[in-house]
Amino acid sequence: MTTTVESGSFVVDELDPALYGQIIKPGDAEYDKARAVQTGGVDHRPAVVIRPADAAQVSRIVTLARETGTELSVRSGGHSGVGHGVSDGGICLDLTAMKALDIDVEGRTAWAQTGLTAGEYTVAVGEHGLATGFGDTGTVGIGGITLGGGIGYLVRKHGLTVDDVLAAEIVTADGRILHVDEENHPDLFWAIRGGGGNFGVVTRFKFRLHELKGIYGGFLILPATPEAIVAFVEEADAAPEELSTIANIMPAPPMPFLPEELHGTPVIFAMICYAGPAEEGERVLAPFRAIATPLADMVEAMPYSGMYPEEEEMYPLAASVNLFIDHVDLAVAETIVERIKSSTALMAATQLRVLGGAMARVPSDATAFAHRRSRIMVNLAAIYADPSEGDRHAAWVADFAASLKQSDDGVYVNFLLNEGEERIRAAYPGGTYERLAKIKSKYDPTNLFRLNQNIPPASD
């Protein structure tokens, strides 16, 4: 059967795999898996999924999309909350076949293709006692998380993922394959460190590696009283920079090691990562364990890759809102507990990440990630199963976010959904958005790369 692309002018069946890479069409056995994303409710059907093997094939795909006027999406790990990585009716450029990793152990650097996941990269470099910080999920593609900034378990010790980007290989809208760093195309190098996928297809990153032979990490569960929440945030802020935490305030899940009478009651489900020896980590964690008698304590010595356990393939429906706040006092903590109790979702959660440390020492205009002085990142989420309930849960998270709003108007671009231009601008404050728009007009004047949190090219 001949398959034509409605929005373009080429025949899918005539694409040569030797030129473009693996061609996956509707009806192929791999098609549904290739178009699936991690977020429920996204059912995009691309005309073709193409998996290139190298930058030259990426260039040909980009050129094909540009010359035929076909919508182009770029997929690294499939974690876009709104499915930006999978075009609905166009070309999905899927990087997952590009997993080459060249580790320079002595030089403490690694060239990594962007089809790798954070977990795959972390395991490989961890064999040499080295690490680069990504996010909190191992299945995330390193392309997407890096382009947006990268806030994870090493954020206080080593900063954002983009703070460890030394260079990149990128295919721009005109099909050129560019090497970018501080000396070569420095404007583009600045833009891709936080500006998202607006400027091209990054095919490789050169990352700095840090020595990290092991960590003291895992999860700690405490009862979520307002006082405990305040104490947790205060301890996380005062802790050495080796410690990064993610505190999820949520109803206790029905885990077998939690007493049944606790199931559904508010808890602090905290992910802990101390980037150092276990004996030091024990001392640093003592004040957290003293906040209240832990309901569960699974913090132990482990390789850093242990923070990325295997994940089940789940595609839940979720409403979420991201924001930054300045502080968590008793009134804020009481609001969090009350709101979590009021949700009718299958699972509701408030995620608090205390920032600072190495991330905050980088000047705000050094990269396109401009939230260097933000104190606490908050993510609010309501997970549900019935699509008809979506509006109700979206209203709950929006009202919740409004009740927590303080002086920081920012938002982390990697956690944005379809929330409009104003929110995209909030991701790039202090003139960052305008600077990015000018760079966009230089490297992508027709906005070929628009399936993202889009920054249109400047008109002047």
Residue 7 is assigned to a structural domain of this protein: no
**168 and 308 assigned to the same domain:** no
The Cα diameter of the chain in Å comes to 67
Residue 3 is assigned to a structural domain of this protein: no
For 457: left if phi > 0, alpha if psi spans -120 to 50, otherwise beta; the answer is beta
Residue partners of 319: CB distance under 8 A and separation at least 6 = 345, 381, 382, 384, 390, 393, 394, 396, 397
For 41: left if phi > 0, alpha if psi spans -120 to 50, otherwise beta; the answer is left
**115 and 162 assigned to the same domain:** yes
CATH code for the domain in which residue 59 is found: 3.30.43.10
**229 and 361 assigned to the same domain:** yes
CATH code for the domain in which residue 195 is found: 3.30.465.10
Residue 388 in tokens: 């008809």
Range of the domain at 18: 12-97
**258 and 394 assigned to the same domain:** yes
Residue partners of 171: CB distance under 8 A and separation at least 6 = 55, 58, 59, 62, 177, 178, 200, 201, 203
pLDDT at 2: 47
Residue 448 is assigned to a structural domain of this protein: no
Residue 174 in tokens: 């005109």
**172 and 307 assigned to the same domain:** no
**151 and 54 assigned to the same domain:** no
Smallest CA-to-CA distance from 268 within 328, 316, 314, 315 is with 328
Smallest CA-to-CA distance from 14 within 75, 68, 95, 85 is with 68
Q: Give the residue ranges of DSSP H helices in 175-261.
A: 186-191, 226-238
Of 97, 131, 147, which residue is a domain's last? Answer: 97
CATH code for the domain in which residue 227 is found: 3.40.462.20
**438 and 364 assigned to the same domain:** no
Residue 460 is assigned to a structural domain of this protein: no
**47 and 131 assigned to the same domain:** no
pLDDT at 7: 45
Q: What's the whole-model pTM score?
A: 0.95
Q: Which DSSP category does 414 fall into?
A: G
Of 97, 118, 138, which residue is a domain's last? Answer: 97
Angle at Cα 149 formed by Cα 135 and Cα 329, nearest 5°?
Answer: 70
Residue 47 is assigned to a structural domain of this protein: yes
pLDDT at 1: 41
For 220: left if phi > 0, alpha if psi spans -120 to 50, otherwise beta; the answer is beta
pLDDT at 8: 57
**337 and 389 assigned to the same domain:** yes
Question: How many Å apart are CA 164 and CA 184, to the nearest integer?
Answer: 17
Q: pLDDT tens digits, the chain, 460 residues: what are they?
A: 445 554 457 889 999 999 999 999 999 999 999 999 888 788 999 999 999 999 999 999 999 999 999 999 999 998 888 889 999 999 999 999 999 999 999 999 999 999 999 999 999 999 999 999 999 999 999 999 999 999 999 999 999 999 999 999 999 999 999 999 999 999 999 999 999 999 999 999 999 999 999 999 999 999 999 999 999 999 999 999 999 999 999 999 988 888 888 999 999 999 999 999 999 999 999 999 999 999 999 999 999 999 998 776 666 889 999 999 999 999 999 999 999 999 999 999 999 999 999 999 999 999 999 999 999 999 999 999 999 999 999 999 999 999 999 999 999 999 999 999 999 999 999 999 999 999 999 999 999 999 999 999 998 7
**393 and 276 assigned to the same domain:** yes
Residue 1 is assigned to a structural domain of this protein: no
Smallest CA-to-CA distance from 52 within 124, 150, 143 is with 143
**182 and 123 assigned to the same domain:** yes
Of 74, 97, 120, which residue is a domain's last? Answer: 97
Question: How many Å apart are CA 448 and CA 446, to the nearest integer?
Answer: 6
Residue 79 in tokens: 């974690």
CB 39 within 8 A of CB 418: no
Residue 22 is assigned to a structural domain of this protein: yes
- Report the sign of the C-alpha dihedral through residues 187, 422, 245, 143, in that order: negative
Residue 175 is assigned to a structural domain of this protein: yes
Q: Which DSSP category does 207 fall into?
A: E
Domain tally for the chain?
3
**35 and 116 assigned to the same domain:** no
Q: Give the residues across from 110 on adjacent strands.
A: 103, 207
